[in-house]
Structure 1
Amino acid sequence: MTIQENSVFEMKEDNINKASKALKAMGHPLRLKILCVIGERELPVMDIVKQVGTTQSNISQHIDILREKEIITSRREGSKILCKVRDHNILTLMGAMQETFCTVD
C-alpha cells in the first residue's frame, strides 16, 4: 500500500473511535509486546510472562487492560488462563506496524 501526496483518509466516526481506543490500548510498550508474543496463537498467561520477561502480576494488569478495551479475550482451561487476540483486524494492524517500523535496512 502506498500513500499518495495530499491523501485524505475518510472514516466514519464510530470507526475513528474504535481505532483510537485500540491504538491507546496498544500504545504501551509492554502491551504491544504482549500482543506480539500472542500473535495468532492462544497462549497461557505464564507462557506470555516467560516470553515478555516481567512479573506475572505486571502481565496480568496489562492483559486486564487489553481485555477491557476488547483487544484480547481470555478463557480458563483447568488452572490456566488462555489469551488470544479478539479481532483479526488488530493482527492486520500489527502486521502493518511491523512492516513500517521493523524493516531491515
Structure 2
Amino acid sequence: MAQTDNYFEMKEENIEKASKALKAMGHPIRLKILCVLGEEEKPVMEIVAQVGTTQSNISQHIDILREKEIITSRREGSKILCKVRDTQILALLNAMQQTFCPI
C-alpha cells in the first residue's frame, strides 16, 4: 500500500482546534482539573480540594481553560460550576488516561 503525503487527512480548522486544546492541557494543573471534571459538572471548591492547590491558582487555570474554550462555567447561587465543554476533549482525556494511566 502506497503511503500518501496526507496520512492524517485533517481539516485546517480541526488541526487548529487540536493544537489549541493540547496547548491548554499542557500544564499539569490544567490537566488535573480536566481529569477531576471528567464528564461531570463540579463546583470550583471541589476542584480545589481534589487538585490540591489554592483556590486562586485553580481560578487562574480555569480562566485559561475557559478562554481556550475547553471548559464552560456558570454561577449557581454562590457556587461557580465548571464542566468540560466538548465531547472531543473527553475522548482525548480518555485516550490519554488509557495510554498513561492504564488500570
d(CA) in 2 for partners of 1:82 and 1:49? 12
Which position in structure 1 is the counterpart of 2:80? 81
Cα deviation, residue 10, structure 1: 1.4
Residue 21 of structure 1, CA deviation? 0.3
The within-5 A match list for 1:1-105 is 8-104=7-103
Equivalent-residue separation in structure 2 for 1:29 and 1:10 (angstroms): 30
Deviation above 3 Å: which 4+ runs of structure 1?
A: none
Deviation (angstroms), 1:93 = 0.5
Deviations 1:37-77 (A, max 9, x none): 01111000000000000000000000000000000000000
SS of aligned partner of 1:9: coil
2: distance between equivalents of 1:103 and 1:42? 24
- State percent identity of aligned pairs: 81
- Structure 2 residue runs of 5 or longer lacking an equivalent are none
Which structure 1 segments of 5+ residues have no match? 1-5
TM-score (norm. length: structure 2): 0.92
TM-score, normalised by the number of residues in structure 1: 0.90
Note the aligned Cα RMSD (angstroms).
1.3
